Structure 1
Amino acid sequence: MNNEKFRVTSVNYKSKEYTIFSGVPLKTDSYKINSGKYIVSVKTTVQRLPVTPSIGQHWNVTGEPEYSEIISQGYS
């Protein structure tokens, strides 16, 4: 299991069943992973959330990380 602390920068999706939100890591040097930058994105059921995620909140999540490369405007 991996533990990650991050600040919410966007709430990408909300429904009655699921929520997807993402943000930037808070721990020192966490912006570097394999010489690249990363964001934290969480998809979970609404029932598992203690409160509704909002921009600016600090969250501490635990789970198995899944890493993927994001290509934006020709850059990865």
Structure 2
Amino acid sequence: MVSDATAHHADYVGQDRWVVDYLPGRQLTREQARAAMRIAVAPDRFEVDAWAATLGMTAAEVARCEQSVLPVNGSAVAR
């Protein structure tokens, strides 16, 4: 999954599992990957709390993860 609005991305890894570049080490369902991408695209929307809950996280936890990874040329690089 990609978006023109963010450099973050989600990659399908098989067996209905996805990985999102700013959530390393986590394998997500498609629904969770979409929620993570929605947060990356629109972090100021009121729905962020609900999207984060889909990931089993708070909005603040997701924001910390997203800010700790800097996308460079489609790859995540830890800050």
Alignment TM-score, normalising by the size of structure 2:
0.28
More strand by share: 1
Larger Cα Rg: Structure 1 or Structure 2? 1
More helix by share: 2
Which is bigger in relative contact order (C-alpha 8 A, separation at least 6)? 1
